[in-house]
Amino acid sequence: MKYKRILLKLSGEALMGNKHFGIDNERLAQYALQIKEASDMGVQVAVVIGGGNIFRGIQAEEGGMDRVHGDYMGMLATVINSMALQSSLEKINVETRLQSAIKMEQICEPFIRRKAVRHLEKHRVVIFGAGTGNPYFTTDTAATLRAIEIEADVILKGTRVDGIYTADPEKDKTATKYDTITFSEVYEKGLEIMDMTAFTLCNENKLPIIIFDMNKPGNLKKIIEGTPVGTLVEF
């Protein structure tokens, strides 16, 4: 097993599957199964999910809503997705704990770093909801921050594409995939992997990133086994 503790970042949009809004139960169950497979291998798993399938703060601002207000609504959307994933994991007997950056004590624990680490040591999947609890930060930044706080070995960003390409593969047919790339190359080439705040936080704290296709069953397990999947951003 290559990693002992991972932080898996899932996008809210990916949870929609082929729907236009909300949560696709099949996709959700498929993600839960992949997480169970990983957890059964003995790796400690923490998860951060976005909320874009329910609400996007930035789009709300374009529609005239106050940005900060929209961002808080987006954070609540991540809690809904986190609860859905929690339920889906528990249905297949994976022990979980949900911690929120915004206190909602009736439905989940507050974020307490030391408690989160304890849960991971007891082999519970820990889901972090409500982003960083602050507006103007993305869930990628929340995922990075939590990964650093819990001292994860790597951040695994599950996306629709299977890695980082020389150009946008949906627009440019000649684009090729990188198996590995360094942080400085990403800066030099101006590639967009995650927002710059999140990316810089990973760079400054020596946290490697793997970008991979989470919609392909088995990929998560392969990464944990050490099989190269997707693109590894390293130092």
Residues forming contacts to ligand GTP in the complex (CB under 6 A) are 97, 105-110, 118, 122
- Minimum distance, C-beta of residue 104 to ligand GTP, in the bound complex (Å): 7
- Minimum distance, C-beta of residue 196 to ligand GTP, in the bound complex (Å): 34
Nearer to ligand GTP, 5 or 123 (CB): 123
Q: One-letter amino acid identity for 4? A: K
Nearer to ligand GTP, 20 or 114 (CB): 114
Nearer to ligand GTP, 107 or 167 (CB): 107
The neighbour count for residue 190, using CB atoms within 10 Å, is 6
Residue 96, token pair as written in the block: 């979980």
The DSSP secondary-structure symbol of 106 reads T
- Minimum distance, C-beta of residue 126 to ligand GTP, in the bound complex (Å): 10
Nearer to ligand GTP, 113 or 122 (CB): 122
Nearer to ligand GTP, 100 or 159 (CB): 100
The neighbour count for residue 208, using CB atoms within 10 Å, is 17
Report which of 47, 57, 104 is spatially closest to residue 77, judged by C-alpha positions: 57
- Minimum distance, C-beta of residue 225 to ligand GTP, in the bound complex (Å): 29
Report which of 223, 147, 218 is spatially closest to residue 179, judged by C-alpha positions: 223
- Minimum distance, C-beta of residue 222 to ligand GTP, in the bound complex (Å): 31
d(C-alpha 72, C-alpha 65), whole Å: 12
Strands (E), the chain: 5-10, 44-49, 96-100, 109-110, 125-129, 154-159, 164-165, 177-178, 180-182, 209-213, 231-234
